[in-house]
Amino acid sequence: MHVFLTGAAGYIGGAVAVRLLRDGHRVSGLTRRADTVAALAALGIDPVVGDLDATDLLADCARAADAVVHTAEANHPTAARALLDALAGSGKAYVHTSGSGIVADHAAGAYCNPRIHDENSVPDVHASMQVRDGIDRAVLAEAARGVRSIVIRPSLIYGDSPGLHRDSFQVPVLIAQARDSGVPRHVGAGLNVWSHVHIDDTADLYALALDHARAGSLFYAEHGEAAMVDTVERIGRMLGLDTPPQPWPLDVATAYWGPRTPVALGSNSRVRGRRARAELGWAPRGPSLADALATGTYAQRWRPA
């Protein structure tokens, strides 16, 4: 199958592309950066240079492909619309990347929220996730217009991507802050819990969804969960730091880690990927986040010599 994939130079997109190539698919991959073209080609991806705002280009690439996987940006309505319009009536698959941030709360690290979401939940969507939620709804509705439209909401993804962008956001920025300052920190008390999933298992889910998911399907991707304070404690141990994890007020943490902090590091985002397991036979294998920090890829890369 010929797949047009956006975000080919990114963390998720690179992993999905490598997985699809391994399955024998052909992948054309969108990037904005001409300087990544040679490296993408070396991975076996046919590079397409362009921006998500280039809607005619997106439509042409979508029509030329047998399926589309959109990983570049979960909050870009015009790109999603251009891809979907191009596929309308074709019966082709469109796999859209969203995220479990949709169910995030405003905990600022202060508590563990007992509410756990699955594909049947109707979450109170976080204010900063309203655009993303609207796009997800629009994507799923395209099943009625002859698109095999699928939404994947990964939780916190960890592990090394085999693509050009090795690292995700959440765990690596916690590690970098702790290493650079010598003090491991979390937002507030760090009692907030995020579900998580390994990048290889995430890529497996995309491949399964592309092959088998029904039109109009939503999937959460998760394989375990952890309170931020526990993850940060593991990070401190991995780095050999003597100082125990320290709380950071949300405003100070946001000034350091940026505007994604309240959702990405301060909220609860607890989900269960029941549908992927039940309908696609998705069987995530890890390694677990705890193992990645204790002995796995993070430990091998970040532990002081």
**Which secondary structure element, helix H or strand E, spans residue 9, and what is its range?**
none
What contacts 110, CB < 8 A, 6 or more positions away? 188, 189, 191, 192
Q: Which is nearer to ligand NAP, 210 or 247 (CB)?
A: 210
Paired strand residues for 218: 151
> For residues 4 and 146, what is the distance between their CA atoms, to the nearest angstrom?
18
Single-letter residue type at 28 = S
Q: Which is nearer to ligand NAP, 30 or 250 (CB)?
A: 30
| Direct distance between the N- and C-terminal alpha carbons of the chain, in angstroms, rounded to an integer | 45
Q: Minimal distance in Å, beta carbon 163 to ligand NAP?
A: 8
287: preceding bond cis by omega (within 30 degrees): yes
Catalog residues that contact ligand NAP under the rule CB under 6 A: 7, 9-13, 30-33, 36, 51-52, 71-74, 97, 99, 154, 156-157, 165, 168-169
CB half-sphere exposure, 153, CA atoms < 13 A: 29
Q: Minimal distance in Å, beta carbon 56 to ligand NAP?
A: 14
> For residues 232 and 165, what is the distance between their CA atoms, to the nearest angstrom?
23
Backbone φ/ψ region at 216: left (φ over 0), alpha (ψ -120 to 50), beta? left
Q: Minimal distance in Å, beta carbon 186 to ligand NAP?
A: 17
Strands (E), 22-134: 26-31, 46-49, 67-70, 93-97
> For residues 267 and 269, what is the distance between their CA atoms, to the nearest angstrom?
6
Residue at shortest CB range from ligand NAP: 10
Using DSSP, state whether 287 is helix, strand or coil. coil
Q: Minimal distance in Å, beta carbon 146 to ligand NAP?
A: 26
Q: Which is nearer to ligand NAP, 15 or 227 (CB)?
A: 15
Q: Minimal distance in Å, beta carbon 23 to ligand NAP?
A: 20
Q: Minimal distance in Å, beta carbon 277 to ligand NAP?
A: 18
Q: Which is nearer to ligand NAP, 227 or 263 (CB)?
A: 263
Judge whether 96 and 138 are in contact, CB under 8 Å: no
Q: Which is nearer to ligand NAP, 145 or 301 (CB)?
A: 301
Q: Minimal distance in Å, beta carbon 182 to ligand NAP?
A: 26
Q: Which is nearer to ligand NAP, 12 or 229 (CB)?
A: 12
Q: Which is nearer to ligand NAP, 75 or 246 (CB)?
A: 75
